[in-house]
């Protein structure tokens, strides 16, 4: 079962008051329903959503529904369930803000559909049940999207979502408007708006795990980069020492610089900080990392003169 299906199966179990049921049904029908042969048709691949729709329609309107299974043209292996409604069709569509009183299509629903915050959340749930998806947080990227066919409806849904400071983005793809979020925290907030606590808990647990894993990887990469830098620096110093010794130029160095030279040969893999601590302990003469670096600059300068 996909993560999207798990989320949808959770939110359709929520018990709603009548106004919330109408708002949720409105969000679904306005973004899924279509009229054909004077009938309202609604489709879904999710059997549980189908049962919820049937229960809601029967509860609100006391009508019979025609149900059939259609072939799915979305390259999906799932069955496509089709609900057809003829009885009370116009009444239903006016109630759901799909039609006005003259049975003309409304580009955005009337205000009574989303008169409270809970009704707004219910409408958003309806849109998500109709055309939404969320990547499983175990995958490589965080992503939530809603597909909306009509431009004004897309803008309307975007405004509703941004009332919750989700910073929803929109783009057009194949004449469909895609509203999407890619930030993990905002997807988690979106799940809270849907009122899907189990999905939120799963998402947050995976997100925290991934964040910690990424942080550990960054630290490991940083440590490896530092180690590579230490090895590269020490290797260069040993090359300069070899040039000086090949040219019998050690006697040209002062005693403190000769000391640094000998300790580098003795501890070829130590960082400057480690080497300065070793020299301080073994000789009793305190030398800082900066002071030791100054001595190696002298070694480098002499080696480059011999090289020329």
CA separation for the pair 128, 6 (Å, rounded)? 13
Q: 53 is written with which tokens? A: 């729709």
Mean pLDDT of 143-166: 94
State the pLDDT at residue 127.
96
State the pLDDT at residue 233.
84
For the segment 110-139, what is each residue's pLDDT rounded down to a tens digit? 999 999 999 999 999 999 999 999 999 887
At residue 80, what are phi and psi to the nearest 5 degrees?
-110, 115
State the pLDDT at residue 21.
94
For the segment 163-178, what is each residue's pLDDT rounded down to a tens digit? 999 999 999 888 889 9
For the segment 8-58, what is each residue's pLDDT rounded down to a tens digit? 999 999 999 999 999 999 999 999 988 888 889 999 999 999 999 999 999
State the pLDDT at residue 169.
92
For the segment 238-273, what is each residue's pLDDT rounded down to a tens digit? 888 988 888 888 888 898 888 988 888 888 888 888
State the pLDDT at residue 77.
61
CA angle 207, 210, 215 (to 5 degrees): 125
At residue 149, what are phi and psi to the nearest 5 degrees?
-80, -35
Got the DSSP string for 180-227?
A: EE--HHHHHHHHHHHT-HHHHHHHHHHHHHHHHHHHHHHHHHHHHHHH
pLDDT at residue 76 is higher than 70: no
Q: How many Cβ atoms from other residues are within 10 Å of residue 123's Cβ?
A: 27
Domain-wise residue ranges, the chain: 9-195, 215-307
Least confident of 108-117, 193-202, 298-307: 298-307
* CATH number for region 9-195: 3.10.28.10
**CB burial of residue 140 (10 Å; 0-12, 13-18, 19+):** exposed
State the pLDDT at residue 264.
87
How many helices and strands in the chain, by DSSP H and E?
Answer: 11, 8
Q: 169 is written with which tokens? A: 């983005």
CA separation for the pair 265, 148 (Å, rounded)? 70
Mean pLDDT of 133-146: 89
pTM, to two decimals: 0.70
| More confidently predicted of 305 and 9 | 9
Whether the CB-CB separation of 295 and 257 falls below 8 Å is answered with yes
At residue 67, what are phi and psi to the nearest 5 degrees?
-125, 135
For the segment 271-295, what is each residue's pLDDT rounded down to a tens digit? 888 888 888 888 888 889 898 889 9
State percent of the chain over pLDDT 90: 45
pLDDT at residue 207 is higher than 90: no
The answer for residues whose C-beta is within 8 angstroms of residue 93's C-beta and 6 or more apart is 29, 40, 99, 103
């Amino acid at each position: 079962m996909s993560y999207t299906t798990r989320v949808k199966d959770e939110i359709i179990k929520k018990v709603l008051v009548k106004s919330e049921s109408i708002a949720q049904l409105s969000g679904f029908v306005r973004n899924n329903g279509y009229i054909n042969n004077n009938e309202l048709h609604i489709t879904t691949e999710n059997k549980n959503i189908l049962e919820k729709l049937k229960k809601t329609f029967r509860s609100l309107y006391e009508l019979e529904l025609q149900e059939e299974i259609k072939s799915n043209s979305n390259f999906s292996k799932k069955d496509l369930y089709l609900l057809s409604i003829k009885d009370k069709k116009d009444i239903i569509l006016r109630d759901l803000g799909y039609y006005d009183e003259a049975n003309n299509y409304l580009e955005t629903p009337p205000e009574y559909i989303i008169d409270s915050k809970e009704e707004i959340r219910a409408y958003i749930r309806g849109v998500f049940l109709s055309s939404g998806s969320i990547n499983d947080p175990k995958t490589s990227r965080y992503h939530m999207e809603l597909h909306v066919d009509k431009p004004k409806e897309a803008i309307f849904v975007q405004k509703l979502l941004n009332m919750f400071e989700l910073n929803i983005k929109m783009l057009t793809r194949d004449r469909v408007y895609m509203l999407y979020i890619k930030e993990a925290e905002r997807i988690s907030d979106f799940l809270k708006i849907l009122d899907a606590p189990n999905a939120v808990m799963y998402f947050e647990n995976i997100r925290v795990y991934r964040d910690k894993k990424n942080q550990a990887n960054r630290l490991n990469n940083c440590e490896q980069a530092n180690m590579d830098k230490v090895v590269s620096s020490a290797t260069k110093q040993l090359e300069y020492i070899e040039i000086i010794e090949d040219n019998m130029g050690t006697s040209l160095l002062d005693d403190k610089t000769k000391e640094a030279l000998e300790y580098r040969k003795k501890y070829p893999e130590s960082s400057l900080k480690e080497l300065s601590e070793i020299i301080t302990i073994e000789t009793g003469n305190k030398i800082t990392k900066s002071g030791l670096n100054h001595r190696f600059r002298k070694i480098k300068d002499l080696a480059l003169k011999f090289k020329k």
